[in-house]
Chain A
């Protein structure tokens, strides 16, 4: 998979605080790339640099195979931090300004995105009268103008109600299926886990882990097991040098294997050969939340 964005050793400080420390990432074309981190981890700073509104102290990044200048931003739909529009203008008038600056979309496209984000009925109303959720929807609508191949979304579900959150997540999934590349910054683990194909975990400006979500989440295979003779099962596993722990609440044994080495069929057969009849055998993926807390020591 080719890269649509290559980030090399980006460094940024605010007086004595180092916001980003040699951040390097590769965003594959067509991925939904989540940048995950607690508040103040540098997510928005990184996106601000990638969109050229913040200046890095050092390092560089290349969008679209090394396009330089300012023109690359016109190919990217962007929502950074807060929805920024002219308070005294309506949704429609604000989007006309976006079209005029970005050269993305036209009058019919404005109508399309307003319908898409559920603001068509309120299109003539002043932006200043909108609720936070409506403002967020309009910002997402502006980012979608002209159907850009890349979207940069910073906390896209901020201020939305549960229905709005579900709609935006579905929209992101649909855009991914249609081949768009989407870069999302979020502190919501659930959000990233549900929509992203790739993730980078940031803490205090340092990338702790990055790559496909499945790789980042699984630093080991955890197999939940039980047998008619649980004691015999545990003795057998320990004899094989496999780390185990008891989940007394669920009455299960958890066996830990290095990533990618747990083969359930082989395990089942070996147990059978030793007269151990398994009653429960499941390979569990670690929740991103667990992995995130492990990495960030939060």
Chain B
């Protein structure tokens, strides 16, 4: 079966699923919304007085102008990736709740085809979110008073990084839905994992155990490190580390691709073995 047919079938499943479109709409307005919040806050501070404007420009540059807008807004938007994760969990847990996963197989899909279809869902969602991010960056960069169109393409590689971080973290959300089957359980564990275990380990490793940088290799941390804090933030929080974080991006890209691949291979392996009851 062609991938277009898998995608078409998935489209038939969500076309009239209003809860899905409602949440997607919220996600899509959250991106420009949060950008506007930061942008207007920054402009307000700048416009308070001339001295502060000069000081801000010196300290953090022009975070909403090209090329820095790519980095700033990728970093901000990466905090919101867990929200579309809810959509992914909804899509897979529905299949279990309605037993349509089993029915899809009875109707003729192979087990791998079912998973390929879900991967296409996540790919399509990642594409939509990446387009939204790109659009928000282009508009923000265009209206920024420090407009510098010459630099528009300089850091546009963040589009690819944002697409990858989105696909990677939506894949993690899918794994929780796939394993726990019930939406509330999957969502609970996903949110818990998103917020607590890795962050606790990181803080313990940094401040108590002081056991080196092993935590960079944890799945979510590796994913987050594909888009490190923008330079002006890094200058404030950890100035010496900024360049090393930028240099480590390729490694974290590789690591995230590996984690994503491992999760999908595991899902294919598990679905092949388990009974669909």
Contacts and interface: CB of A to CB of B under 8 A. Distances in A.
Interface of A: 48, 51-55, 69-71, 73-74, 78, 80, 82, 84-90, 93, 96-98, 100-104, 142
B105 A52 contact: yes
Interface residues of B, number: 29
Contacts of A54: 275-277
Given A71-B108, A96-B12, A102-B108, A87 B98 contact: yes
B275 A53 contact: yes
A93 B107 contact: no
Contacts, number: 79
- A-B pairs, top 7 by smallest CB distance, nearest first, are A74-B108, A84-B103, A70-B110, A84-B99, A53-B276, A101-B107, A102-B108
B273 A55 contact: yes
A51 B107 CA distance: 9
Contact of A70 (B102, B109, B276): B109
B12 A53 contact: no
Contacts of A88: 16-19
A84 B100 contact: yes
Contact of A97 (B12, B275, B277): B12
Given A100-B9, A101-B9, A53 B106 contact: yes
Indicate the member of A70, A80, A104 with the most B CB atoms within 10 Å: A70
A76 to B, nearest CB: 8
B8 interface: yes
B98 A98 contact: no
Nearest to A53: B276
Given A55-B273, A100-B5, A85 B98 contact: yes
Interface string B11-45: 01101111100000000000000000000000000
Contact of A86 (B94, B105, B113, B273): B94
A78 B17 contact: no
B203 interface: no
Given A84-B100, A85-B103, A102-B108, A55 B12 contact: no
19 contacts: A51-B105, A51-B106, A53-B277, A55-B273, A55-B274, A70-B113, A73-B107, A73-B108, A80-B102, A85-B100, A87-B98, A88-B16, A88-B18, A93-B12, A96-B12, A98-B107, A100-B9, A101-B107, A103-B108
Contacts of A103: 108
Nearest to B117: A101
A74 B105 CA distance: 10
Nearest to A100: B9
Nearest to B112: A70
Nearest to A152: B106
B237 interface: no
A100 B99 contact: no
A84 B107 CA distance: 11
Interface string B240-277: 00000000000000000000000000000000011111
Nearest to A139: B103
Interface in B102-142: 102-110, 113
A67 to B, nearest CB: 13
Contacts of B16: 88-90, 93
A103 B107 CA distance: 9
Contact of A101 (B17, B108, B275): B108
Given A70-B110, A84-B98, A87-B98, A101 B104 contact: yes
A54 B277 CA distance: 7
Indicate the member of B17, B108, B273, B275 with the most A CB atoms within 10 Å: B108
Contacts of B107: 73-74, 78, 98, 101-102, 142
